Amino acid sequence: MSLDFFEAILRSSLFGVYINQGEDGRIVFANKRIAEILGYDSPDELIGKSVLDIVGDIKDEIRVNLKRRTMGEVFAVEHSQHFLLSKSNTLVPVSAFVYTIEYENKPSGLVLILDKSKEKSYEKLFFTLSQINQLIVRIDDEQELLKKACDVIVDEVGFLYSSIGYIDENLLFKQIYTKAKIKELEESVRNLTIGIDEQTPYGRGSVSKAYHTKKVSLIPDAAKLKDTSYWHDFYNAYNICSTCSIPILSKGEVKYILLINDTMPSFDRDHLYLLEELQLDLSFALEKIESQKNMLVLNQAISVSHEWAVITDRNGTIIDANKAVSDISGYSKEELIGKNPRIFKSGYHDKAFYEKLWKKILSGESCTCRFVNKAKDGSIFYLDSILIPVMHDGEVYRFVDLSINVTKLVEYENQLELRSKIYNTLYKIISLSLQVKTKDEFLELLPRLLVENLDMPLAYIILKNNENFEIKYSSAKETRYQFLDWAKTAVQLFINNQFINNQGAHSDDPLIRSLTKKGAYLLDDICSQDICPFKKFVCSYGFNSCFALSISFKENIIGSLVLVFEKGMLFNDEIFNLFEVIQQQIEFILNKLEDEKFSKITISALNSGFEFVIVTDSNFNIVYVNNKTLDISGYSREEIIGKHHSIFSSKTHTKEFSKKFYKILKSGNTYSGLIKYRIKNDILKDFYVNITPFFEGSNITHYIAVGKEIGNDDDLLKELYRLANYDDITGLFNLNSFKKELEKFLERAKAESQIGAVAVINPINFKRINEAFGFSVGDNVLKQIAQRLKDNLKTYDVIARLESDRFGILLKDLRAEKDILIVASKILSKIIKPYEILNQNVFLSFNIGLSLFPKDANIPEDLLNKALIALRDAKEKGENQVGFFRKELEIEVTKALMLKSDLELAIANKKFVAFYQPYVDKDRKIVGAEALMRWVKNGKIILPMDFIEHLEKTSYIIDAENQLIENVLDDLQSFKRTIPVSINLSSQSLMQRNLRDDLISKLEFHHLPMDLLKIEIVERTFINNFEHISDLIRELKKYGIYFSLDDFGTGFSSLYYLSMLDIETLKIDISFIRGIENSKTRNIINSIIFLAHSLNIKTIAEGVETIEQFEILKSMNCDYFQGYFFHRPMPRDDFGKILGNI
């Protein structure tokens, strides 16, 4: 085999390559890169060596493989974690890909080497930082910390040895503790003479440099450097490659030096910033331990030199406070006198904490503790306090609180803990990169890894899909954070709108910025920022900050990684820099995975079933062909090398095919398919080819074509055509064929002025079917969906399975634009019918997105993309809308599906009944009641929280509310004494055209006064249909049916809406009543009542549970009161007894 091939593909210097022959594995070829990896001056130094001389492990396996190859066996082997021996006998971590080839007419082993030294070094250093930061948080003894640090560095991380010591009066490095992988090495290290006097031969190493500069000192190649010649025999005896000394400072001076040595090139300039982080962390640890040693002394002296002093009486009322209290808390002394210290409560400490504290100090004992308090401006501060009871005549008379402000210390400890988590996360990210095979697999697993290791609630990845962005992968810590179904649509629309409007480059939003310019971007204190769409939900979940990290691949931004945190204000420059490191590591890993993929594709072609291999440069000029190519084509090597690949052109393909062919390759994508080539002597032959671009950095430098001659094998031709154009499960067209059909139709439709449409159909939560029942069952359902589509469309319409559970339809030659909705409605009515799964009927819901030609778009890509945008619109509307899913999991899905079926039965069997909760006036007299929906299932009462959300997503809510109205009217008719009863109606019921007539008819049928029935609405029911609801309220008022506005204050609470709606009563939301002890909340309630009365609207306070709440509300002139303090919701018979009618 010619070496032209290797020279062509190895210009990137990514891969080391050598070829070995014979049973002893003698190296007969080596490139420059493998010499660099192993530390040789030239590839010639490797020629003639046995591979057994340069491998550091698995020698027995290699001997077996060498023998197999010499006996004529052809095979390939991959060693993802392998070690080679360098020239200096140090171990070099690599990945090796070994293939059998024929070289110089002999069976040979072709070995492709990827250097893993840098990755392994990063992995070890990140793990070191992670483990030592955990020690710093956990250990309070200085000597124990340093000893444990050395143990971790050797036992857990894997460095060769580590020593901790100090510089004594003789200017020598005095070892306190040494840890090594082997005991013999430990003794040798202890016997070493190391000093800092640069006039001596043992005073010029890394320890000396670290001591004099107070900075980390690195020696990447310790066994070769002249300054370290005093220890060369020692280094060579134990194969030591690199050494590092880290000065640990106390009060600005070097107190200790941490010495680490390794057999790998673990310490170079690329790793310096990580070692400097380790220096800072260990230096801080000494200061922290020293501070803690002094804490007892400080506590004893605090009464003399304290920051914070508060005096209270026996009941806890503040009677004096010094200036520091005001400076720290933000309250003036006048604001504090007469108040209880609970004014500083942050909600962090529970009731048991305070009960224990009070019990202790009331007994006359002093108490020390740490308080987490809240300042006037809402910020948190931390106090280390001693509470001293003052005795008089044997009883506690006063309390003195003497404290020091430790807020900065706590914040630094929190930052230290976060740094520890980030280091551990970086280690885990590198470990993950060694386990996965593809970029997609890495990105899919990344969010979960980050959520678990950074202890944050949410992480998601946004990737570019064609011209749009979508949330591709995500992970949440708790189920309560699973709002992603909503967030996906909102975030995607927000991003895409920003880029459509060319606002990305100027946006302040970190997500948009990360998609525009490579880097890490922070948004702290989210709730105070006007950022859409996050502000709609982040505050309610307690989110405070987020990072957006650009995801880059081959120098191009392909997406963003968003990390959401509950804690804020922890992200100083050091933390920010670490998130930048995460961003850089992800980019490095993605590029590495792609390079490894390329090496496998390229070299495996030599041993695959493909017959020809052709390599061209970036201009498609041929630089390499294998012998099989020459045999097939009839050309000699001299006739082909340097020629344009079009030498094989058959001239039978269309110009459009040629444009697409070059567009695919030049955009960096792989082309696969059938091509007709012209060989020498004008003979045409069919080939199945795979052409892959090869990148160097962000530029394509070569194209690699591998192929197989089809010949006259018609069956193979047909099978290849089917695989290339049809979906294997459903038999429908695949995405590529769908685009081709769409292109053909648009070309004709433009000429004939025809109307067409694209429909994208998506079953909702289909993945749960796969997860609960298995993929074979899921595939069967996909076939059923496909068949229903074919049965209900015209033969000339095009149906395709676009991807996973998503279908596409091309509706041709529509007579009018309105026909698109008719067809979509027909399709929807057919596909929502139950599907048979394991002898049971299961209902699926769907969404359909539509785009119209030529109104929405007139080119295939735009038409399909706009149908996908329309699909998002349909998802926002809910199930079955047109617009524009192991055991526990199986139980969950089955439960959801069964609930829908049970609700249908409940509607049919009239199982929705009314429970009544009365409301009273100021004299506690019942003046009305609210009818609450309950579901009677198998003799049990089901509360709305378990079913109402499902009902409201379907039209069944209308039927259920009709049943409720009938029940209420039947009950009122049977009572001897009646009071007004209100019913809460959904937006679906309120939008019914015949609602007014239906209510009046029902009241007349039951011979009941109109004013006995009242309607309750919530703000969300009218906000999008204001005019309709306003008209309905006015119309029903004419007949004596009045409306109430429920849950006032929880939604938009616009005064404009309140003034424009002719309502009778306003119900103050329970959240305000529960907070009535707060003065601000009381002011809000008072304002609501005053406002309502000024508009001639009565008020009802919801959720009144105590006599105190009742009395306060009465004093505010609230009209009516409802809650457990008076009456709980009750069934019909109990309600009747209260009224005295039954």
Does the pLDDT at position 504 exceed 50?
no
Q: What's the pLDDT tens digit per position in 452-479?
A: 888 888 888 888 876 677 888 888 876 5
Q: Is residue 904 part of a domain?
A: no
Q: Is residue 417 part of a domain?
A: no
Q: What share of the chain is helix, strand, coil (3-state, %, to 5)?
A: 45, 25, 25
Band (pLDDT 50/70/90 cuts) for residue 799 is: very high
Q: What is the pLDDT of residue 551?
A: 92
Q: Distance between CA 1089 and CA 1067 in Å, rounded?
A: 10
Tokens of 1079: 């003065």
Of 1025, 1023, 1043, the C-alpha closest to 1033 is 1043
Q: Distance between CA 473 and CA 223 in Å, rounded?
A: 47
Q: Is residue 397 part of a domain?
A: yes
Does the pLDDT at position 607 exceed 50?
no
Q: Distance between CA 536 and CA 202 in Å, rounded?
A: 65
Q: Distance between CA 1140 and CA 444 in Å, rounded?
A: 65
Q: What is the pLDDT of residue 817?
A: 65
Of 999, 926, 937, the C-alpha closest to 968 is 999
Q: What is the pLDDT of residue 293?
A: 60
What are phi and psi for residue 924, nearest 5 degrees?
A: 65, 20
Band (pLDDT 50/70/90 cuts) for residue 1042 is: very high
One domain, residues 881 and 760: yes
**Domain limit, last residue, from 722, 739, 769:** 722
One domain, residues 738 and 877: yes
196 near 207, Cβ under 8 Å?
A: yes
CATH of residue 89's domain is 3.30.450.20
Q: What's the pLDDT tens digit per position in 511-558?
A: 888 888 888 888 876 666 665 555 556 666 667 788 889 999 878 888
**Domain limit, last residue, from 115, 143, 162:** 115
CATH of residue 1059's domain is 3.20.20.450
One domain, residues 1063 and 977: yes
Band (pLDDT 50/70/90 cuts) for residue 890 is: very low
Q: Distance between CA 545 and CA 560 in Å, rounded?
A: 16
**Domain limit, last residue, from 705, 722, 739:** 722
What number is the average pLDDT over the span 195-210?
Answer: 91
One domain, residues 277 and 170: yes
One domain, residues 444 and 562: yes
CATH of residue 478's domain is 3.30.450.40
Q: What is the pLDDT of residue 531?
A: 56
Q: Is residue 890 part of a domain?
A: no
3-state SS, one letter per residue, for 806-825: EEEEEEEEECCCCHHHHHHH
One domain, residues 179 and 247: yes
Give the range of the structural domain holding residue 747, as residue numbers without chain letter. Answer: 726-885
Give the strands of the sheet with 699-709, arranged side by side: 622-625, 612-617, 699-709, 683-696, 671-679
Q: Nearest 5°: CA angle at 862, between 857 and 867? A: 85
Give the strands of the sheet with 15-21, arranged side by side: 26-30, 15-21, 106-115, 91-103, 76-85
Does the pLDDT at position 487 exceed 70?
no
The full DSSP string for 256-284 is EEEEEEESS---SGGGHHHHHHHHHHHHH
One domain, residues 126 and 103: no
Q: What is the pLDDT of residue 1013?
A: 94
pLDDT top residue among 1099 and 306:
1099
Q: What's the pLDDT tens digit per position in 691-747?
A: 888 766 567 878 888 887 776 555 655 666 676 678 878 889 888 888 888 988 988
Q: Is residue 233 part of a domain?
A: yes
Q: Distance between CA 289 and CA 282 in Å, rounded?
A: 11
Q: What is the pLDDT of residue 294?
A: 54
Q: What's the pLDDT tens digit per position in 7-41?
A: 544 454 567 888 899 989 999 988 888 888 888 88
Tokens of 50: 């046995």
CA atoms within 13 A on the CB side of 877: 18
Does the pLDDT at position 1122 exceed 90?
yes
Q: What's the pLDDT tens digit per position in 746-795?
A: 888 888 888 888 999 999 888 777 766 777 788 888 999 999 999 888 88
One domain, residues 287 and 300: no
Q: Is residue 900 part of a domain?
A: no
Q: Is residue 940 part of a domain?
A: yes
One domain, residues 629 and 768: no
Between the CA of residue 16 and those of 6, 110, 238, 418, what are the distances in Å?
Answer: 10, 11, 26, 39
One domain, residues 962 and 1044: yes
Beta bridge partners of 937: 940
Q: Distance between CA 120 and CA 219 in Å, rounded?
A: 18
In the predicted model, what is the mean pLDDT of the chain? 82
Q: Distance between CA 933 and CA 80 in Å, rounded?
A: 62
Q: Is residue 263 part of a domain?
A: yes
Does the pLDDT at position 605 exceed 70?
no
Q: Distance between CA 537 and CA 1038 in Å, rounded?
A: 40
Q: What is the pLDDT of residue 498?
A: 53
Q: What's the pLDDT tens digit per position in 984-1039?
A: 998 888 888 888 999 999 999 989 999 999 999 887 777 777 888 889 999 999 99
Domains identified in the chain, total number: 7
pLDDT top residue among 486 and 274:
274
Task: Tell me the residue type at 1126.
Answer: F
Does the pLDDT at position 857 exceed 70?
yes
Q: What is the pLDDT of residue 210?
A: 92
One domain, residues 730 and 692: no
One domain, residues 846 and 975: no
What number is the average pLDDT over the span 590-614?
Answer: 64
| Long-range contacts (CB closer than 8 Å, 24 or more residues apart) made by 433-438 | 433/119, 433/589, 433/592, 433/593, 434/80, 434/81, 434/119, 436/593, 437/593, 437/597, 438/593, 438/597
840-842 and 806-814 as β-strands: parallel, antiparallel, unpaired?
A: unpaired
CATH of residue 790's domain is 3.30.70.270
